Structure 1
Amino acid sequence: MRRQWIMAVMLIGLLISGCTYEREVSVTNESLLETESTRLRAQLEQLQAELRASEKNAAAWKAKLEANQATPSVTEQYPKLAFLASLPEMEKIEIRDELGSVFITDSDVLSSVSHLFAVQSTIQPGSPPMPDVEPVELVLTTDQGVVRARIIQRNIIQFEEMYPNEYYVANSDVYLLAKAFMHRPQYVPAEQSTTLKMIDSGLMRVDADVYLTHPGRMLAMAKAFFYLENKAVEKPVDPAMLEMALTFYYYGEEIKLHLYRNHAQLLDGEQEIWFELQEGDLASMKSIINAG
């Protein structure tokens, strides 16, 4: 009898323990479900917020696009300048500075710089832009007429006779063209090293008929030349075939650098110096010109 009573007590204990475990498991499962539900709600709210922001940005871009499409182009707003966008044939350029006038008549130069005067945009209304270069004016004689452009900043010009109160953004190299041929301003020292003049040039001619106003290429070529300066040699008896001829235009001066297979010839005013080229020098200097 006692044994039966003990077994009954043990059975009751097991039943009570099982019920308690089931309640604990149930509570744990409910807690996990509640945590997961909270996480999913947070993710949903975040996605909804991102969707609203995306829709807002899309609407803003659409409005901006429609506004741009509705805004007339510069040439539509200022029809007298429309011909410059078509890259007219330049017949002559007169550069007027404080010391007088210089004329560009070389057809290769003229055809290489026509794109510089295509107006890109206008300056917003307000105070006139503050000049950051010396006073210089260009008189462009083209196959479609004559126009006078005043350079205000390195890439800002004014067509005072046509639109006296408007300022326009042009190619950033437009001032370099004037700098290549105009008179040297009085504040610029007359004596400059050849390397500095090459760096500060406004135009570079490659061989006979290619003209570049790209300041990065001129700087790179001047730096390449700088590393030749400690390799000066006597004039070679036979320098072999000319590989490339470069001319730098600096305030009316011309600095010539002729590249041969193993030598380089520098002509700066009355100065003539020959340099020895090491293996790879010529290819490196050619790559500067031929880079895309």
Structure 2
Amino acid sequence: MNPVSYQRASSLTEAVRMAGTSRLLGGGTNLVDLMRKGVERPSLLTDVTALSAAIEETEAGGLLIGAAARNSSVAAHPLVRTRYPMLSRAILAGASAQVRNMATVGGNLMQRTRCLYFADVAGSRCNKREPGSGCDAAGGFNRYHAIVGASSACTATHPSDMCVALAALDASVRIVGPAGERTVPLVDFHRLPSDRPELETVLEPGEVIEAVEIPASPFAARSGYRKVRDRASYAFALVSVAAELTLREGRIDEIRIAFGGIAPKPWRAYRAEAALRGSGPSGEAFLAAAALELADAAPLAGNAFKIELAKRTLGAVLTDLTGDDR
């Protein structure tokens, strides 16, 4: 690791003042690991764990989660477990208990890809790490890479489980910076790579994540999260699905779906949602909606299996939620 200085922000205002000239440090579960590998080389770290860690009900009946809240605290919170169970399940599906005890909500939103080429500083080309250098994943080992939303410059996937659930829950991110406050929908917070894969979020210089807000939902209690991976623990998703829905008179009334493991950001499945609203729940309808969502998929040599896996995983989650086993 290169020499690095450390400072601690005691308030949100101080964090914003310090953010423009330093990297922000929450639990450090991703950033410190990347520093050890030489992927990240900051000269100054600002500890922002003094930001709000509160998990509070909003006046509108939703939930406000401070950026410094630990992942384990969110997963265990009674309001999360009862009102937004898929968020709790998604968090528990990620990493170990020790990592969840350290990792923060703000840090989870900012975590970087686990692409092997991104982490291989000495031996691989990566446009995300060194813009303009190339992408060795495109013609290399790409089992874990994106099938939708990627570009010729980058095919890496976003690693978060929590963010997939937040995307399906219509969550938003509260941001504070030198120009003031703004709120960004979670689905718009992460960027697709296009020709600038090094730009991963919409945060501007000096901006700090203050909190994540989840709106009240009449149907979030009927929700699920499923993660398919190469081993049962401590592995990132090949495909994951977060979904919530309501039924009315035997048909799907409202539905929200998000995929993980298939795109450079949590992938909200708007096409599949539109296809399923008003339809009767059946395995055929679920697979048809998934096929519509993935119609533009562009798999690489090593990950074409994700198309069928994503279809069947969505079908399994929706079958569980509707009680349909046909």
TM-score computed with the length of structure 1 as normaliser:
0.24
Which structure carries more relative contact order (alpha carbon 8 Å, separation 6+)?
2
Structure richer in helix, relative to its length: 1
Q: Report the TM-score when normalising by structure 2.
A: 0.22
